[in-house]
Each structure stands twice: as structure tokens, then as C-alpha cells.
Structure 1
Amino acid sequence: MQITPEQYDAWTAQSRTGIEIVDGVVHPLPSPSKRHNRLARLLANAWDTAVGPGWNADTNVEVRLCDAPLTNLRPDVTVYRADTIDVTPTRPEHVLLVAEIVAPGTETTDRVVKADQYARAGIQFYWRVEQAATGAPLVYTYVLDPAAGRYRDGEVFTGVVKVTAPFPVEVDLGRL
């Protein structure tokens, strides 16, 4: 059974936590590890400092990519327009950058499915963080090619990530 946006919007905030909806189907999210949470927080804190007053960077922001069929995702970290902080749901046009931290069980979803969904929704930048068993994670950056409707490969980093777009930022993900 597929859930509609109207049905979903009638749910309480508490019943919306810990899930994503893809093509109208509810998918529970796995509980993140401490390493996963720390990576997300390091990214969010660095981005929030770097983006300036027009943008916010937060974890666990629900982004509605599509109404029919309903698709709501919760990127691990999202940079969104500050003036939309009270707008629900967050829409792709409010979002500049999302990051997904790949965890056991989410490999295909984060590497292929979500990248495709974010690109089709028009989100300009996507970062994928691959956790290493030991040492610093690998960070893959992508930039939307609007004509193709998909992401082009950007730079790949390990340890320290230093970029100028979409905003200048340096993040030491080796500080786990």
C-alpha cells in the first residue's frame, strides 16, 4: 500500500522519525553508529560555519523530493536556505548540498539510488562519505549536470576535505 502526501502530512512528528518514504512506501532507517553520527556532526558543524547567514547546515532534515509518488528522504547532512527553516516540508529548491554517509546495509541506496533521486530533484551538490574500517573516511563529491539530470564526478578526498564550491570549506574528517 502506498502512502499519499496527505496521509503522511496527517501523521504526528514523532511517527515520522526514523523513516524515509520512497515511491510511497515507508522504509525504516537503521540506527546510525557513533562513528556515523560523529561524521555527520563534523560535516554539519564545518558547513554551518562556512555557508554564511543565508544558509543552514543540519543533520536529519526531511526533504520531500516528490509528491506523486511520495518520496521523502533524510540526508545525513543537508545545507538548506536559512529563510526556509520553518517551511515544512523542505523541498529540493531549498537545498544546496546533501551528504550521505554510507553504512553497512545502505551501500547501494547511498551510492546509486539516492544519488539518482537527488540529481533528478535538482539538488546541485552531493557528497558521499565512505567509512573506512580504520583511518579516515573517503569523501566523493559530485556536481549536478542539469542538462543530463545526473551528477558529474568531482574530487575525492581522504582525511581533510578542502573545496571552494559550493562554498569554501575545510573539514578534517580524520578527527574521529
Structure 2
Amino acid sequence: MTALPDWMALPPEGLSAADYEALPEEVCRHIEIVDGAIVVTPAPRRLHQRIARRLAGELEQAAAPELTVDTDVDLRLRDVPLLNRRPDVVVYDSALPDDALLRPQHCLLVVEVMSPGSVTADQTDKPAEYAAAGIEHFWRVESDAQDDRCLTVFRYRLDPTTRLYALLGADTDKLSVSAPVELTIDFDSLL
């Protein structure tokens, strides 16, 4: 039997922010932290990566200079117990220094590209966490179960009263929005 790596041996109170920050980047790229527990995320399929990369490129072209677009970066939602996610795409305030911790108040939009191994997290857990943290916009990209080249983008906006996301639309084939950025995308360009 193979022993777990040392970094997976958690104290009873879970992984702290300092513990996480001490981990090597090659470890952090493959995990998320939920209530101090390590959640190992499988390597996404190439199609998943392509969709995220191309959508990020489209968002970057459409974004105003005061916005930055990145993929697969740490987003610290809470320090205690530690809640650290790695959205597929995030649009945030360009004034944030590169070495500063990305937090919800810096973010305008987070996007998750759903994979077969992330259905519950992407449909239920992450939207609830992002909404509770106050991130104004959330998009989820889903592939059709029968044809993974048929995409739907579910767009949500935070209701400031309930602190829950309200569905703005479910777009297939093409996306045309004026907020949080002005953008029109034919989904074939993402594939």
C-alpha cells in the first residue's frame, strides 16, 4: 500500500492558510481547500482546458483596461476555516498587485467549466460559496451529455438582498452580453 504524501496529513482543525501557502505550487495547482480539507482535483480534459483558455481570451479582449482575466488561479474565499478555490476563469480588478492574494472583493466574474468529475461542485457548492462571498457574476459552462461539443453557458448575477445567484440566462450556440463586459461569442470559436 502506498502512503499518503506528508502534505495530505492534516491536523484535526484542517489546513490553515499558512499551511496552504507553504505548499509547493505544483501541489496547489491540483487541489482546492474546503473547510480546511484538501480536495484533489483531477486533471481536466483537453476540451475543458481549450474552452476555458479561449473564453478567457475572449473576455480579456472585451474587458476594460481596469480588469484582468486569468485562468486557474487561487481565489481565497475565507481564511478560517480555509476555503480556497481555483476557478477556471476569473475577471478581477487590475489594480491588484500580482503578488497579492486574490479575494472575492477583487472579482467581478468567476467562470467554471463543468467536467464529469465536478458536477456537484460546479452546480451547487461553488455557486453557493461565490455568492456568499459576494462575487457579482458567475457563469457555468456545461457540455451536453450526448455531445460534449454542444455547450450551454448559464449566467447568474448576485441578488444583493438574498446573497444568492439569480439566473440571467442559459445561452446555447452564441453568447451576447453587455454585463459584466460587452461580449459576443459564437460557441464554435470555443471548441
Give the TM-score, by structure 2 length: 0.88
Counterparts in 2 of 1:112-127, with a 5 A limit? 112-127=124-139
Matched residue count: 176
Residue number in structure 1 paired with 2:58: 46
AA in 2 matched with 1:165 = A
Deviation at 1:85, TM superposition (A): 4.4
Aligned to 1:140: 154
User: What is the distance in 2 between the residues matched to 1:35 and 1:47?
Assistant: 18
The alignment-based identity, stated in percent, is 38
Aligned pairs for 1:61-100 (under 5 A) are: 61-100=73-112
Q: Does the residue aligned with 1:83 lie in a helix, a strand or coil?
A: coil
Cα offset, 1:81, TM superposition: 1.0
- 2-structure distance, mates of 1:87, 1:142: 29
- Structure 2 gaps of 5+ residues are 1-9
CA distance in 2, matches of 1:112, 1:15: 25
1:115 Cα shift? 0.3
SS of the equivalent of 1:105 reads: helix
One-letter amino acid matched to 1:116: A
CA distance in 1, matches of 2:90, 2:74: 9
Match of 2:35 in 1: 23
What is the root-mean-square deviation in Å for CA atoms of aligned residues?
1.2
What SS class does the counterpart of residue 185 from structure 2 fall into?
strand
TM-score, structure 1 normalization: 0.95
CA–CA distance in 2 between the matches of 1:15 and 1:108? 23
Q: Secondary structure at the match of 1:58?
A: strand
The answer to whether residue 181 in structure 2 is matched with residue 173 in structure 1 is no
Distance 2:42 2:25 in 1: 18
Unpaired runs of at least 5, structure 1: none
Whichever of the two has the greater Rg, that structure is: 2
Matched to 1:169, the amino acid is: L
